[in-house]
Structure 1
Amino acid sequence: MRDEIRRLIAVLGVVVFLVPPGLAQNPQQPVRPPAPPQVSANQKGAIRAAVNLVEVDVAVTDRDGKLLKGLRQDQFSIAEDGKDQKISTFDYYDVERLEKADAVEAAPITIPIGSVAPPEEVRQQVRDRRMIVLFFDLTSLQPNDLTRSTLAAKQFLSKQMTSADLVGVVWFGNQLRVIADFTNDRDLLDRAVDALLPGKEAQLAALAAATSAGIDSAVTEETNAAFTVDDTEFNAFNTDRKLASLESLADLLRDIPGKKSVLQFASGITQTGEDNRSQLRATTDAANRANMSIYTVDSRGLLAEIPGGDASVGAAGGNAMYSGAAVFQQSGARQDSRETLAALASDTGGRSFFDLGDLGQAFRSVQSDTDGYYLLGYYSANAAHDGRWRTIHVKIMGVPGARIRYRQGYYAPKDFGVYTTEDRERQLEDAMRSETPVVELPIAVETAYFRLNNKQIFVPISAKLASSALQWAQKSGRRQVEFDFAAEVHDSQSGRIAGALRDTITVRLDSERYEEIQQNALVYQGGIILPPGNYKLKFLARENESGRIGTFEDDLRLPAVQPDRMQLSSVVLSSQLVEVQKSSEVQTKGFAPGAKLRELPLDVGGERIIPSVTRVFTNQQMLYIFFQAYVPEKTDLNQLRAGLEFFRNGARISQTPIVAPAQVDDQTGTASFRISLPLNTVAIGRYTVQAVVVEAGGAQAAFGRNYFALRPPLAPTARATPAVSGFGGN
């Protein structure tokens, strides 16, 4: 059991420093991001303005259900939360006209789902088209339900699909997958539906349901099993994943103009009694912003259950069968599994279909709802970004007996200042999962690697932020800023998460100290333990006063052990050594308590070397170079010697005398070297430093390189701030 736990642990570290201004300069390597831009200390926060266009699709019919066309803009009125709004955009999509037009042989139309295309080009292609997505939730569909759903879909494609329809096929199993983009190619769509086969995802479709609200009588089951798994806790995450998949689909459809109808085939969404309402709200919000209506279909069809359950469940015990509690619980559980489906449909302007003997009725309803619709747009007069639900009410004047259908409202945008804890976590999660990096906060990051043993490598992560570019809050006469740091490391081949890091750092300074460090930088240090291999790192930093996020991505190549050769770690450059001690100015909250890393590789002789993130120094500083050598077995560590060589423009210009290791560890075969030299005699410019380690009287040798730049000083060096560190496992 202990070995299993150890495999789940990724050791991380947290250190925050205030460093001298000489370190916050542009990096030497072009592959690294530039240093944060210098901002005046008295510069105020920028004024931001946002205008949000709200679009509402409105279907208008007469008493007999016939479409009413030709209505004018002045015949419509829109109110939001009871206040009239000015209609700014008005258009009519006449899908029925295209359906009735003579069919013309033409190449199939394909609109990619999720790809970026010129909006006007896509708008012309989807003009007067009906866009339908067939969404199959394999995690809730039992094999029989999936078969029933695919047969209905194939019948729709062969008999009901019209020339105006563009249909896409998407399924959700262990991940969201687009099987077919929007197209009118029936053969392609038919093959896409045929590819849907029952798999292991169906095992998630029969998780236990919580007792219905309002029913207090306990209903027990005798299954003759020695142990019955309580999967209610797991099911909470299963429900979130189902809803999150719809949210992701809405994000993919957002940039495609016009109304999108999603037919969701599911066997209900099982309730646990503690469902994540935040995820349901986020899914609804994403669908409304994407102008996406969800039509939920209970693929179980017409349910006629036997009172008390069939042979697939154990018999109820006690007096439940005689008091009627078993039947009430059975009926309540069925309704609970449909509540979320009904909420999704009603909140997005769609419909829900339960107890259908013929699932084709759902397709006919989608087509009739989108035969033609008016698309109205207005700029909300309510400028508050409070995230509240805003009710929309549409009226038509001068058309007696008209019936209208539209979505009932939307969630307003939300500023970071009113985010809940769940909202903040979701923002970080979205930024971590987004393929487009968020670069609102300037950040520079440096990584390295040090071997702990043959199977574990410690990867320190250093992030630098210019303090003058941050928004500091003022509380009780002190300045305060809070950060959230998050990192994920994925295996380059499999994409699996190999390690993660998550911390919250709070820095509090008095007025004098705040003015002193305005020209300095904040440096965060964390670390992750990984096995040798190739990885991709994604690091996020969020400043919690404004909610701005900075992103850094890089490849990590951690070399495997070569038993018969000496190997070196990264060559770390620094201009600062600190004693590790606690400070009242910095507070750290780690979200991964557990295993402790007693001593960092960067700690030598009771002092910690602070890696330079940008590797830019001044000629008034001392340069510290730190690296480790890892030798084969039976090699005498005390016989190792190391020296430095400096190159400029490809030519060697100087070298240092060889030195013995500063620290050795015979148990791991590690020798640590720390070499220091003043920079006051070094000319301004860019340099390559090469560390060379040899075995005196032996055959082992290795070298490593790094780069740095030297510039004249801009300002007197400020005193260093004591560091705070805390190392826990994740």
Structure 2
Amino acid sequence: MKQRLWAVVLISAALAPSLRAQAPAFRSESTDVLVDVVVRDKHGRLIRGLTRSDLVVKEDGEEQTITSFRAVSASPGAATARPAEAEQSRVAAVRQERVQVSTQKRLVSLVYDRLGPDGRRLGRQASLDFLKKDLGPNVYYAVFTIDRGFKVVQPYTDDMARLKKAVEAATSGERSDFQSDLANMSRTANAAGNADGAESPTPSQGTVDGAAMSAAQAGQMAKEMLDFSEVLEREDLGRMSVFSLWAIVKELRKLPGRKTVLYFAEGLQMPNSMVEQFKSMLSEANRANVTVYAIDARGLTTVSDQGAANAKLSEAAQWSRYARNTQNETAAGNKQEFRTFDRAADSLRANQQNEMLELAESTGGFLIANTNDLRPNLEKLSEEFNTYYEITYHPKNQVYDGRFRAIAVSVTSRKDAVVQARDGYFALPVMEGQTVFSYEAPLLRVLSRNPLPRELEFRAGVVQFRQRMGLQQAALVFDLPLKNVAFAKDEKVGKYRTHITVLALVKDADGRVVSKLSRDVPLNEPMDRLEGFQQGRFIVTRAINLAPGRYTVESVAADQEGQRVSAKKSVLVVMRHTGEASVSDITLVRRIDKPAEERDPQDALQVPVGRIVPTLIDSVPGGSGKLLSLFFTLYPDETSQDPPKVVLDLLRDGQVVSRTSPALPPAGPDGSIPYVANIPLDSVAAAQYQFRATLVQGNFGAQKSIYLNIE
């Protein structure tokens, strides 16, 4: 199963004082904010002819100075603004101009997200109708589909024949259907689990006969499977939708002009675990001046999405009442009680049409839904596409704190004006080639402190593997012991709460971020898991590729519950390899997870036996029954006729304590030999040791070592 991201929440408003104490040092080279504005009267008619003096833009309630203003009109003479020269003479240093839409480059992205047969027909017809109306000069369309993956059906073009063909291809065929299997499972679970006619999720009491017990158990097992499958499905679908839209937004940010996304879907899945990514994607769309118009391709329907939200909230409420009123605890009851918060949180996002509404309105567009006749709304969309005002301002607040900055645009000259514009953005620094999440901003500020805070124990580093095509394959590793992380107890419900945030950056010699790793993990778990939690380590890895050179690794760990933070900086040197054979860095093994369904060739920690979870600690317990487990990879010279051999040495004070030369497994398809060495520590005295791995092939050898303490 593919690795899934932990649930994340927006934390900037609730950060510990220690994280807020210092002013940030991050400032962007270009912080201007561009806002497309559509203005209508109370009857829905477009208001034309407004000037810069008619509009006021505020950020977080504070009026901003407009540095650029443009009125874009679909037809000559449509914008009857006062002359720009008069306005410029009255407002110094403010640029105002009127342009015709024919001279303004416009980019439209048609996106079709998992449409059923009816949705495909509606989406196809609406798209073709829109193309007929709005394929004018300097207008370029692209076509994308989202299903099990993200596909570019047609890159941006103004060729009508190609676009029609792409729309037909994107709206034909069948979507992957996950829902039918879940629906069948749900009916089975409900039939078996509610055979006694109970309407509330009351756990079974007392003893029942064998047959009844079997049916109840079967129903409960099916319900557990359904709950788990539903969570995974919502996460997978939500992730695919959000990151596909994000991919479009990131590329559009590089281009000038009016940028619009027409998003055809039958609802937008948004599990609680994807909310942070969703908000960050909306923020980047707003910074990129991308407007999203969402079209619910289900058309007119009698089924309300709010029903699903109400069902989840009702289920959470039932279990909450049970927890308050019952005197008899059961394992099943406790398990369901622990899920009450998750159900309540998910209920807030279960209305898929509301998620489409937020996607559209947050970026300055609108939602088209609950109708089979899209023509009036498409006409309105076309108007907004061709007639609007473009405002640019330089924010007075240049602090990058990760907070949401609300944008409000108003018209001072007309009381009946209804303004449609994007609602804001997150104040995040810009990293070329990297996505910055809002929860990362406070940690980035910590890295600007001098001296760096040291309130938590953690390690971060880069494990280097093989070099090919001039790039070093490596793994960025973050290792945080959990024994010192604070937690809050809730004895009444038998749960504990903790919150961990980590960030690691790899910067080149010029200070550019070439790789980034981060996680924001709030946990709310049963008390019986606390001891195991405190004995564990929070380990995160990311596969990276680095060119030879000198780098800096900057890392931060934050214990939100304990209001503590630590940061470190270290130097990393990637050497250029001259020999054919080599040995990777050696790392201690924390555990070996099950093999991934699909092995990632870029991830050197994915090996045939499973996925290696490394640890950066340098001390291990010794004694009877203890093992020293280490991982490394051998890269023999594929052109040599000599078979490779490995010699493993354990040294103390430079003297060999033990030496072995184990048989090697066969090389993989890429010629590498991943190896896990397990050394018994029964008779090894406590001291500092050096573990050394030597690859011998004919007259050539390569060697790597690691120093560690056996306690």
Normalising to structure 1: TM-score of the pair? 0.49
Q: Which of 1 and 2 has greater Rg?
A: 1
Q: Which has the higher contact order (CA 8 A, sep 6+)?
A: 1
Normalising to structure 2: TM-score of the pair? 0.50
